[in-house]
Amino acid sequence: IKKINQLIQNNDPQNNYLIKTTLQTLHDPFEDEFNQYPIYKFENVKPGIRCTYCMNIIERSLENKQKMITCHNCYTTVSRKELILKTLEELLCIKGAPFTMREARKWCNGVHRNTLLYIMKGHFKVKLKNKTKVYYK
């Protein structure tokens, strides 16, 4: 049923949502699984690093060596590490399942995997799922 996402990709997310929920209710045997993992919600959430105070998405890359990031909306300064950890916690919470490095990078404006691994060390656990490393708490 995951393939439905690919099948109905168009520019009308609200309509997609309707199609998907309709299809899901028709698939009663899978109901429990979907209640555990709200896939459609995860797909609809815009990825990105959010300011921990005003929740505004910080668009620019955090790839440089800058340790402190100032939000251009509320001018709060937060450490890059704290921003990234919050973003990954948010990703885990919204997805409702362990996330991959590819997803982590997407949510963190493409921050290098080594930087993410360094920051995640001691904060997230790692396990293998279908031969891919996934991260969780």
**What minimum distance in Å lies between the beta carbon of 46 and Zn ion?**
16
In this complex, which beta carbon is closest to Zn ion, that of residue 49 or of residue 71?
Answer: 71
- Nearer CB in complex with Zn ion: 39/71: 71
**Minimum distance, C-beta of residue 50 to Zn ion, in the bound complex (Å):** 8
Provide the phi-psi class of 48: left if phi over 0, else alpha when psi is between -120 and 50, else beta. Answer: left
* The two structure tokens encoding residue 51: 């300011």
Residue ranges binding Zn ion (CB under 5 A) = 51, 53-54, 56, 71, 73-74, 76
Whose Cβ is closer to Zn ion: residue 9's or residue 73's? Answer: 73
At its nearest, how many Å lie between Zn ion and the CB of residue 129? 34
